[in-house]
Amino acid sequence: MAFQILLNVLMACLWMFFESSVTLSTFIIGYLLGLLIIFMMRRFFSSRLYIYRVFAVVWLVLLFLKELFLSNLAVLKVVLNPKLTIRPGIFALETKLESDWEITLLANLITLTPGTLVVDLSKDNKTLYIHAMDIEDADEAVESIKLSFEKAIMEVSRSC
């Protein structure tokens, strides 16, 4: 992926030399043309076209922001409710993710999800222990959200 970006920047610089004008607009035009060339030559690269991964990262950031808003609403509801009806608890969640940065990202994402907070990670990096604010309605809904997060993170990390 890094190689493709570097190649694209190099092609943009080449375009600036062709035009013999070193300005930002020439660079952008050259970059877009380079992107087109890389897109046409995509069968010669071993990894995916990098633009897909960039989109996946943007998607993940948007997901982060959305979850942050939703979790604040959930906390607001619990705090401003005059009666304290929550039933907290800690549950375990198996994860398929392997590398360290993926698990860190997942843990951060879970912490910003409505009503959940990561307490611990098992030694073999397989299980996340999550404290839920309200374990009854959390259990199922959270499980499905986790799957979508895991998928979004895999979308970023997948190389082929």
Going by the DSSP 8-state scheme, the letter that residue 134 receives in this structure is S
Size of the site for another protein (CB under 8 A): 32
Q: Which of 40, 160, 56 is nearest to 8 (CA)?
A: 40
Structural contact between residues 143 and 98, judged by C-beta atoms closer than 8 angstroms: no
**Single-letter amino acid code for the residue at 126:** K
- Find the shortest distance in angstroms from Cβ 139 to another protein: 9
Other C-beta atoms closer than 10 Å to the C-beta of 30 total: 22
Q: Is 122 in the site for another protein (CB under 8 A)?
A: yes
Choice between 34 and 115, CB closer to another protein:
115
Choice between 3 and 69, CB closer to another protein:
69
Judged by the rule CB under 8 A, the positions of this chain that interact with another protein are 64, 68-69, 71-72, 75-76, 78-80, 84, 86-92, 107-108, 111-112, 115, 117-120, 122, 129, 131, 133, 135
